Amino acid sequence: MNKLVIITGASSGIGAATAQAFAAAAHPLLLLARRLEPMEALKLPSTLCRAVDVLDAESFQRAIDEAEAQFGPAEYLVNNAGVMMNAPALESNPTQWDSMIDINIKGVLTGIRLALSGMVKRGSGTIVNIGSIAGVKTFSNHAVYCGTKFAVHAISEAIREEVSSKNVRLITIAPGMVETDLVNHTTHDASRDGWWDYAKQIGGALKPTDIAEAIVWSCKLPQSVCVREMVICPTRQEP
């Protein structure tokens, strides 16, 4: 049997598409998100779905223990859970800053911490952190989101350096514009509508399946090959 894959934020968008892609490659799955029903509705084989907040380390660990007892050790973790709430700096909401910092940074760190120890002990494993083009360059009206994604890129690279000698890979996948519900978390109407308007101008954003294919491809390369960072955007996306 292929080895266990853990995916956070698996109820929709990139997370759900990645679950379907790994299932098609005959991997058992642990799917985690705050909403249980959409994950169960995927009806994927050899799959355990659990309603888990990535900031709740105890629930996260219990889910991993349950899945590993059923399917064996986790070989892959896809840290996908994230939120994007954009607005000009002077109009932004500190409560939304907290949500982005907590989920986009602390949630990623929680997943890494829980998965990494076993991978290092076994001398094999891959952690995929979903960054963003907003972690490579800045965008106006996205200051805090950019900050969280720059953090993901930095955290991923620093930890990769620490564990590379243990044959453990950290991969950062940095999508550009992708057609998901992520942008709809934004409550600032002009920022949200501007995103969708630009997507239409360039002929549409990427599909979640485009990113899922890149994730699976990078994971299925030989363990001796590490795609440290991959930026994936629509061809016509200028910034």
Q: What is the pLDDT of residues 57-80, one digit of tens each?
A: 999 999 999 999 999 999 999 999
What's the confidence (pLDDT) of residue 75?
A: 98
Report the range of poorest mean pLDDT among 13-17, 99-103, 178-182.
178-182
Active-site pick, 145, 172, 173, 214: 145
**Catalytic status, residue 145:** yes
**What is the DSSP secondary structure assignment for residue 209, as one 8-state letter?**
H
Report how far residue 194's alpha carbon sits from residue 147's, in angstroms, rounded to the nearest whole number.
Answer: 20
pLDDT tens per residue across span 214-230: 999 999 999 999 999 99
pLDDT tens per residue across span 180-206: 988 888 888 888 888 899 999 999 999
What is the band of 148 on the pLDDT scale with cuts at 50, 70, 90?
Answer: very high
What's the confidence (pLDDT) of residue 60?
A: 98
Calculate helix-pair angle for 107-122, 57-71, nearest 10 degrees: 40
- In this prediction the pTM is 0.96
**What are the boundaries of each domain within the chain?**
4-232
CATH of domain 4-232: 3.40.50.720
